[in-house]
Amino acid sequence: MYKDPSIEELFGFSDSNEYESTEENNSSDELEVFDHKVSPSSFNGNEPIDISSITFPSISGLILYENLLTHEQQNELINGIIEANYFDNPESNQAMCFGTLPSFLLNAVEIISHTPGLFPDGIQNRKPLFDQSIINLYKPGEGITSHVDLPRFEDGIVVISLLSSCVMQFKPLSDISDIEQDGDNTNYYNKFKDIQNTGETIPVILRPGSVLALSGSSRYNWTHGIEENEIDEVGDEKIVRNIRVSVTLRKMKQDQLLLNKDDSNSFSFEVKKRGH
């Protein structure tokens, strides 16, 4: 029977000292988050089935593929993330990997790279498609400040959603001139607080197994963020948030790679607390 996993079951830590597991210990460390009786519906290695793609008329370049990853593929990602121990420290909720992608991401990247229409051809056919990943862990009620991804990353970004749904808000930038000047990370997230928000906000529901692709205007001219809500309401739909994990995949700009030439084929990662 499906039961939402607790954060302790997933990542082995608790906010409260009172937590005591009533579950049997799973000696293999492997966690089946999804009940496989709910039949996975999507990519079977040959033909994609039952995948819906959603576009947003006012946000050019934004496309959402629901059910792109099967439950098994989602489990594989979650188990890979657990085994990598990124979130052993309860303070950390963001792991950044540079260089070679962690191996547990490779099947998902393979699927994404074979998904037609995700990106314009020039992006879709680049090699490698991605060389940087961020894994974000959200407890219920947590979010991420509205931002535009850093200019040191190429166009063509995806966000894979796992475990829980949430709403991502897209807001058009009123002034994009600052983005070009901001070559590094400094105060990047704060920068957009003041210059966004002159127009409408477009809610995008990110469900587990979905892949959101951003290119062109959606990547450069809109901010995206997740509000700090325990419940999201969109139209008639009410989403009670549970623990959510997302995987962001991007490609570093070539000149940024050259800055770290000796490291460009190696793998490194950094685990920290999201600054927002």
Ligand X SMILES: O=C(O)CCC(=O)C(=O)O
Q: Which stretch binds Fe ion (CB under 5 A): 15-23, 40-48, 123-131, 149-157?
A: 149-157
Q: What's phi and psi for 238, nearest 5 deg?
A: -115, 125
Name the binder of 223 from ligand X, Fe ion, none, CB < 5-8 A by kind.
Answer: none
In the bound state with Fe ion, the residue whose beta carbon lies nearer, of 41 and 193, is 193
Name the binder of 136 from ligand X, Fe ion, none, CB < 5-8 A by kind.
Answer: ligand X
CB of 187 to Fe ion, least distance (A): 16
The type of residue at 81 is I
Q: What's phi and psi for 49, nearest 5 deg?
A: -125, 150
What does DSSP assign to residue 209?
Answer: T
Which residue is nearest to ligand X, using beta carbons?
246
The type of residue at 271 is V
C-beta of residue 71 within 8 angstroms of C-beta of residue 63 = no
In the bound state with ligand X, the residue whose beta carbon lies nearer, of 35 and 202, is 202
CB of 93 to Fe ion, least distance (A): 14
In the block, residue with structure tokens 């946000």:
59
Interface residues toward ligand X, by CB under 6 A: 134, 136, 144, 149, 159, 168, 206, 224, 246, 248
C-beta of residue 63 within 8 angstroms of C-beta of residue 54 = yes
Smallest CA-to-CA distance from 151 within 90, 240, 214, 220 is with 220
CB of 185 to ligand X, least distance (A): 12
What does DSSP assign to residue 110?
Answer: H
Name the binder of 159 from Fe ion, ligand X, none, CB < 5-8 A by kind.
Answer: ligand X
Q: Which stretch binds Fe ion (CB under 5 A): 120-128, 148-156, 232-240, 251-259?
A: 148-156
Q: Which stretch binds Fe ion (CB under 5 A): 34-42, 143-151, 230-238, 249-257?
A: 143-151
Name 43's Cβ contacts closer than 8 Å, sequence gap at least 6: 49, 51, 68, 69, 70, 73, 111
Kindly list the residues in this chain that would bind Fe ion in the complex (CB under 5 A): 149
